[in-house]
Amino acid sequence: MSKIVKTQREASTGRFIQTNLGKAKASKFALVEGMSLNSDSRDLISRLERRGLKGDALRKEIISSFATKQG
């Protein structure tokens, strides 16, 4: 039995539709690649998400927190 998988494309532009992986799948990919978060990074991300930050705003805050730690 084979599963039929169709790639979704946007009707107006013909571009492929990309969806976010989500935390569970992203953590599985990270484990396969041998990467994991330490407790400080995990706490930082959860604290920023509780503040309601998502996407680029979340990335910007994470980058700025690392920049302040190093400098």
Per-residue pLDDT of 15-66, as tens digits, reads 777 777 777 777 777 777 777 778 888 888 889 989 999 888 888 998 888 8
User: Whole-angstrom Cα distance, residue 23 to residue 1?
Assistant: 30
**Number of domains composing the chain:** 1
In a domain, 69, yes or no: yes
Per the CB < 8 A criterion, the answer to whether 48 and 58 are in contact is yes
User: Count of CB atoms within 10 A of residue 53's CB?
Assistant: 16
In a domain, 51, yes or no: yes
Higher pLDDT, 9 or 46: 46
pLDDT greater than 70 at residue 1: no
Q: Which two tokens stand for residue 64?
A: 């700025």
Q: Which domain holds residue 53?
A: 37-71
Per the CB < 8 A criterion, the answer to whether 49 and 58 are in contact is yes
In a domain, 45, yes or no: yes
pTM of the full predicted structure?
A: 0.48
Alpha-carbon radius of gyration of the chain: 17
In a domain, 66, yes or no: yes
Per the CB < 8 A criterion, the answer to whether 32 and 25 are in contact is no
